[in-house]
C-alpha cells in the first residue's frame, strides 16, 4: 500500500488542519517517519513529520526538504503560513497540522490512519483471493473510498466520473482522456498490456451491447483477448458521484487489485504462463524472493549462472510485433551461436532477454544490428552477473543504459551499461541534490574553460586518473596522441591547481569530473555558463 498527503488529510478533522499545498506531480510513498534533526539522508519514498522549529531551521539554512512533509505548526495567520511556503521549493508538498499534539503523538495518529488503509487493502486482497461474492468486495471498496463507487462487475466493468468530459479537461488525473472519451485507469491498462491480455486497444467507441439497469450506455468498451480468444471486456460507465483527489489516488491502487480478476482469466486461457515466469516477472518489479525460490524458477536456464549472464532490454518495436520479433531474434541468436533458447519476459520498459555468457556477448549484441529488421530496436545491456539474486539490479542497469544511451548516443543501437555507469551514478545523485555543489570549484573552472574553448581538459584529467595515471591507456581511450594528452594535463594543472598525488583529493577530483561529464553529455547545459 502507498500513501500521500491527500490521503492523510482526508482522514483528519478539519479543525486540526491549518493549510495544505500539494505539488501536481506528488507521488505515493511507502511509509511515514519523523525528521529528527534534519540531518539524516532523505528518502523521498517516505512522508516526513517535522516540528515548526526544524521547519524554520531548514528554511534558514536552505536545506533540501523531503518532497512530502507534515509540519506540526502553531495556529497563526494564514498569511504567515503562505509567507513560509513561498520560501520552499515548488516540488515540496506540505500539510500543516496544528500543534495540539507533539510530533510523536501526531506520528502515532497518522500511523494508525495508514495502518487502517493497510488492513482494508489486505481485506480486499483476501476477498479476491478467496473469491468472495461481488457484493462483499464492493462493500470493502466503499470502506476504502469514502464516496461509494461501483467499481466493476463480473464482466470486468470499471466505473468512473462522468462530469467534465465535454469540456476537454480530464476531471481526475487517474483518467486518461482520448477524443472526449476516457479509458480506464492507466495502471490497469498497463497491467493488461504487460500480461499480453489486450491484443489490440483500438479507438474508443460507445458500445450499444451492454446497458446498466437504468439504460445508461458505457463511454467505451475494450475487449480482452488471450491468443485470439476473448476472455472478457472492460467498460467505462458514469457514476454521478464527485471523487476527491485522495479517493482518486486510492482508486489507482484499487485498480491494480482489480487486475487480480483479469489475472485469473489469463491463467484459464494461457497454459504456457508458468509459475517460474511469474517469479521472474515479479522479481523485475522489485519483489524479493529467497535464493532457493530463485534457483527453482531458473532451473531451465541453459547454462550455470555461475558462468555469468547478462540482461538485454529491447525497446522500440510495435506492441503487436513483440512476439514475432522476440522469436526472430532468439532464432537468429540460437542458430549463429549454437545456444539454447534464452529466457524472455515482457515488462512495461520493454522485452527482457536473459543471456548466458558462455559465448562472446558482444558478438550476440552485434547480431541485432546486422539484420535490417532489428535496426529500429534500441537495446540496453547490463553488466555480467553470477547469481539470480542480482537479476533485478542488472535489470535496472539495463534500463539505465537505454535511458542514458539514448540521450548521449542517440544514433547507436546497443548500449552497454559499462559505458554509462558513471552517468548512472551521477544521475542518482542529481535526483537528490544539486550536483553542482558537489563539484570542486577548480574542476568546475576546467568545465567553464572547456565550454568556452571547445576543449576536453576535464575529460582528459578524468581518464588519466581512471587509468592509473597511464598516458598510454588514457590517450588510447581519448583517441589522441600521448603528447597531446600531456599538454592538456599541464594546461589543466595551470587552471585548476589540484594536487593529483593527494589520495583523498584525487577521489574528489574523479567525482567532480564525473559530474562534469554528466553535465556535458546528459544534462547538456547551454554553452554559456
Q: What is the pLDDT of residue 40?
A: 66
Rounded CA-CA distance 372/368 in Å is 9
The ranges of the chain with pLDDT < 50 are 147-189, 192, 196-216, 218-220, 231, 235-243, 269-273, 319-320, 322, 336-341, 527-528
Rounded CA-CA distance 359/367 in Å is 13
What is 276-308 written as a DSSP string?
HHHHHHHHTTT----HHHHHHHTTT-SS-GGG-
Is residue 290 a contact partner of residue 282, using CB atoms and an 8 Å limit? no
Residue 74 in 3-state DSSP? Answer: coil
pLDDT digits (tens, 9 = 90+) for 57-81: 888 888 888 999 999 999 888 888 8
Q: What is the pLDDT of residue 388?
A: 84
Where are the extended beta strands (E) located within 46-92? 46-51, 68-73
Which alpha helices (DSSP H) does 130-239 contain, by range? 134-144, 186-194
Is residue 510 a contact partner of residue 443, using CB atoms and an 8 Å limit? no
Q: What is the pLDDT of residue 58?
A: 87
Rounded CA-CA distance 28/246 in Å is 11
Q: What is the pLDDT of residue 269?
A: 45
Where are the extended beta strands (E) located within 382-455? 414-416
Rounded CA-CA distance 107/112 in Å is 9
Supply the pTM of this predicted model: 0.45
The number of residues making up the chain comes to: 529
Domain spans, the chain:
5-113, 146-269, 299-419, 428-523
Q: What is the pLDDT of residue 134?
A: 55
Q: What angle do CA 112, 114, 120 make, to 5 degrees?
A: 100
Q: What is the pLDDT of residue 86?
A: 87
| Sign (positive or negative) of CA dihedral 131, 136, 138, 144 | negative
Is residue 285 a contact partner of residue 195, using CB atoms and an 8 Å limit? no
Local structure of residue 521 (DSSP, 8 states) = I
Q: What is the pLDDT of residue 397?
A: 95
Is 479 buried (19+), middle (13-18) or exposed (0-12) by CB count in 10 A?
exposed
Q: What is the pLDDT of residue 286?
A: 82
Strands 378-381 and 414-416: parallel
Q: What is the pLDDT of residue 167?
A: 31
Q: What is the pLDDT of residue 96?
A: 93
Q: Which helix (H) or strand (E) holds 335?
A: helix 322-337
Q: What is the pLDDT of residue 84?
A: 87
Closest CA to 391 of 274, 273, 280, 275: 280
Rounded CA-CA distance 419/411 in Å is 15
Q: What angle do CA 403, 350, 372 make, to 5 degrees?
A: 90
Rounded CA-CA distance 402/410 in Å is 10
Q: What is the pLDDT of residue 254?
A: 63
Rounded CA-CA distance 277/66 in Å is 37
Report the CATH architecture of 299-419. Answer: 2-Layer Sandwich (3.30)
Q: What is the pLDDT of residue 212?
A: 37
Task: List C-alpha distances in Å: 448 to 55, 453, 521, 525.
Answer: 36, 9, 14, 11
Amino acid at each position: 500500500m502507498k500513501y500521500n498527503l491527500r490521503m492523510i488529510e482526508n482522514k483528519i478533522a478539519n479543525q486540526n488542519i491549518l493549510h495544505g499545498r500539494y505539488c501536481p506531480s506528488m507521488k505515493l510513498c511507502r511509509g511515514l517517519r519523523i525528521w529528527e534533526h534534519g540531518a539524516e539522508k532523505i528518502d523521498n519514498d517516505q512522508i516526513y513529520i517535522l516540528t515548526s522549529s526544524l521547519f524554520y531551521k531548514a528554511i534558514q539554512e536552505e536545506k533540501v526538504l523531503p518532497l512530502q512533509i507534515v509540519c506540526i505548526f502553531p495556529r497563526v495567520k494564514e498569511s504567515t503560513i503562505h509567507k513560509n511556503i513561498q520560501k520552499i521549493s515548488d516540488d515540496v508538498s506540505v500539510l500543516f497540522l496544528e500543534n495540539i499534539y507533539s510530533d510523536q503523538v501526531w506520528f502515532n495518529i497518522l500511523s494508525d490512519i495508514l495502518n487502517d488503509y493497510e488492513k482494508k487493502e489486505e481485506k480486499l486482497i483476501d476477498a479476491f483471493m478467496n473469491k468472495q461474492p461481488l457484493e462483499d468486495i464492493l462493500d470493502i471498496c466503499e470502506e476504502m473510498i469514502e464516496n461509494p463507487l461501483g467499481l466493476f462487475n463480473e464482466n470486468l466493468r470499471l466505473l468512473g466520473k462522468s462530469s467534465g468530459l465535454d469540456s476537454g479537461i480530464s476531471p481526475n488525473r487517474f483518467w486518461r482522456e482520448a477524443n472526449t472519451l476516457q479509458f480506464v485507469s492507466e495502471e490497469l491498462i498497463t497491467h493488461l498490456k504487460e500480461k499480453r491480455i489486450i491484443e489490440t486497444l483500438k479507438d474508443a467507441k460507445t458500445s450499444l451491447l451492454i446497458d446498466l439497469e437504468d439504460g445508461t450506455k458505457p463511454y467505451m468498451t475494450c475487449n480482452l483477448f488471450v491468443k485470439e480468444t476473448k476472455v472478457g471486456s472492460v467498460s467505462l460507465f458514469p457514476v454521478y458521484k464527485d471523487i476527491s483527489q485522495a479517493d482518486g489516488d486510492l482508486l489507482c491502487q484499487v485498480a491494480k487489485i482489480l487486475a487480480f480478476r483479469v489475472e485469473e482469466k489469463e491463467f484459464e486461457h494461457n497454459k504456457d504462463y508458468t509459475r517460474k515466469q511469474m517469479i521472474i516477472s515479479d522479481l523485475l518489479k522489485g519483489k524479493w524472493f529467497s535464493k532457493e525460490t530463485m534457483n527453482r524458477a531458473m532451473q531451465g536456464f541453459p547454462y550455470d549462472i555461475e558462468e555469468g549472464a547478462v540482461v538485454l532490454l529491447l525497446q522500440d518495436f510495435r506492441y503487436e510485433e513483440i512476439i514475432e520479433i522476440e522469436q526472430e531474434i532468439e532464432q537468429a541468436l540460437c542458430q549463429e551461436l549454437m545456444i539454447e533458447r534464452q529466457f524472455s519476459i515482457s515488462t512495461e520498459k520493454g522485452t527482457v532477454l536473459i543471456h548466458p555468457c558462455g559465448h562472446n556477448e558482444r558478438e550476440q549484441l552485434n547480431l541485432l544490428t546486422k539484420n535490417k529488421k532489428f535496426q529500429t530496436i534500441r537495446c540496453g545491456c547490463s553488466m555480467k552477473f553470477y547469481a539470480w539474486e542480482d537479476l533485478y539490479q542488472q535489470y535496472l542497469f539495463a534500463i539505465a543504459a537505454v535511458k542514458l544511451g539514448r540521450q548521449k548516443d542517440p544514433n547507436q543501437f546497443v548500449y552497454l551499461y559499462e559505458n554509462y555507469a558513471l552517468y548512472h551514478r551521477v544521475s542518482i545523485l542529481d535526483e537528490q541534490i544539486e550536483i553542482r555543489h558537489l563539484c570542486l570549484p577548480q574542476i568546475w573552472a576546467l568545465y567553464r574553460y572547456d565550454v568556452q574553448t571547445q576543449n576536453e581538459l576535464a575529460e582528459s584529467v578524468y581518464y588519466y586518473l581512471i587509468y592509473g595515471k597511464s598516458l598510454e591507456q588514457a590517450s588510447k581511450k581519448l583517441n589522441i596522441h600521448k603528447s597531446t594528452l600531456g599538454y592538456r594535463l599541464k594546461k589543466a594543472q595551470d587552471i585548476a591547481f589540484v594536487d593529483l598525488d593527494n589520495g583523498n583529493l584525487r577521489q574528489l577530483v574523479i567525482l567532480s569530473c564525473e559530474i562534469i561529464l554528466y553535465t556535458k553529455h546528459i544534462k547538456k547545459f547551454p554553452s554559456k555558463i
